Amino acid sequence: MSDTATMTEQIRVLVAKPGLDGHDRGAKIVARALRDAGMEVIYTGIRQTPDMIAEAALQEDVHVVALSVLSGAHLELFPRVVEACGQRGITPENTLFLGGGIIPDEDADRLKEAGFSAIFGPGAHTGDIAEFVRAQVPELDRS
Partner 1 sequence: MTTETADAPQSELSGRLAELEERLLAGDRRALARVLSWVESGDERGREMLRALYPRSGRARTIGLTGSPGAGKSTVTNELAKSFRQRGQTVGIVAIDPSSPYTMGAILGDRVRMTELYSDDGVFIRSLASRGALGGLSAATQDVVHVLDAYGKDVILIETVGAGQDEVDIAGAAQTTILINTPNMGDEVQTLKAGIMEIADVLAVNKSDLPGADRMVSALKALLSLNPDRGWDPPVVRVVATQGEGIEQLTEACDSHFEELQTSGKLEAGELERARQQITALARANVLDRLRTETGEQRLADLSGAVANRQADPHTAAAAWLGES
Stretch that binds partner 1, among 30-38, 70-78, 104-112, 118-126 (CB under 8 A): 30-38
Give the C-alpha separation, 9 to 31, whole Å.
Answer: 19
- Binding of residue 3 to partner 1 (CB under 8 A): yes
Candidate list 4, 25, 138, 141; residue touching partner 1; CB under 8 A: 4
Closest approach, Cβ 104 to partner 1, in A, equals 30
Closest approach, Cβ 45 to partner 1, in A, equals 4
Q: Give, in order, the Cα–Cα distances in Å from 63 to each of 45, 100, 129.
A: 18, 17, 14
Task: Please list the alpha-helical segments (H only) found in the chain.
Answer: 25-36, 50-60, 74-86, 105-113, 126-136
Instruction: Using the minimum distance from each CB to partner 1, give the nearer residue, 4 or 105.
Output: 4
Give the C-alpha separation, 55 to 116, whole Å.
Answer: 18
* Contacts (CB under 8 A) with partner 1, residues 99-138: none
100 CB burial (10 A radius; 0-12, 13-18, 19+): buried
Give the C-alpha separation, 17 to 24, whole Å.
Answer: 7
Binding-residue pattern over the window 34 to 73 for partner 1, x denoting contact by CB under 8 A:
xxxxxxxxxxxx--x--xx--xx-xxxx------------
Instruction: Using the minimum distance from each CB to partner 1, give the nearer residue, 6 or 135.
Output: 6
Give the C-alpha separation, 90 to 75, whole Å.
Answer: 19
Q: Return residues touching partner 1 (CB under 8 A).
A: 1-10, 12, 31-32, 34-45, 48, 51-52, 55-56, 58-61, 88-90, 143
